[in-house]
Amino acid sequence: MSINLAIIYYSMGGSNYQLARWAEEGAKEAGADVRVLKVPELAPQSVIDQNPIWKSHVEATKDVPVATDEDIIWADAIIFSTPTRFGVMASQMKQFLDTKGGLWAQGKTVNKVVSAMTSAQNPHGGQEATILSLYTSMFHWGAIVVAPGFTDSVLFGAGGNPYGTSVSINQDGKMVEDVEAAVKYQAKRTVSVALALKKGWEN
């Protein structure tokens, strides 16, 4: 028995894309079947073109599939990764969630195991609030939130966020904290809990 894991992200400069790829590595090590997927970009191309980092990232990830309703149905578990925007998730991620009302109404989001990650330009820029804002939507979905908590010492090296891995980004667009191990641990924990639940339900 294996777990289908969808890693759904939004990234402007590449940080959350990197988090998604680390989560993919951790989940595959745990035996999951993984899809890395992006949400649709809402910003006009004219705005993106004015920012060289943004433009470069969009071009570099043009072949990453866009998440669909089918991906949500397929997934036993979902890890979301989104930048912080004024203490809440990016509008691109929120718009994606807002379009899933049809799935929700059909009960297709119930019992999905979910976890979340984020980034911001400073450690107190709303990182925890962003993850919690996403989890609020997940409670409405009937999903089962699996946060890392303080369940492994590797989490303290990444800043000790019990809600989900979060990382600060400096003015050069580089990650400040070393969070790779924490991301992989969070992915493995998400997969292991999803597997335990799946085994229990099938028995």
The full set of domains in the chain, from first to last, is 4-202 (3.40.50.360)
Residue 33: strand pairing partners:
4
Which one, of 115, 136, 121, 85, lies nearest residue 182 by Cα? Answer: 115
Note the pLDDT tens digit of each residue in 143-167: 999 999 999 989 888 888 999 998 8
Evaluate if residue 176 carries a pLDDT over 90.
no
Evaluate if residue 203 carries a pLDDT over 70.
no
Evaluate if residue 32 carries a pLDDT over 90.
yes
What stretches of 30-160 show up as alpha helix (H) in DSSP?
45-48, 52-60, 69-74, 91-98, 101-105, 127-141, 154-157
How does residue 141 score in pLDDT terms, banded at 50, 70 and 90? Answer: very high
Q: How does the average pLDDT of the chain come out, rounded?
A: 94
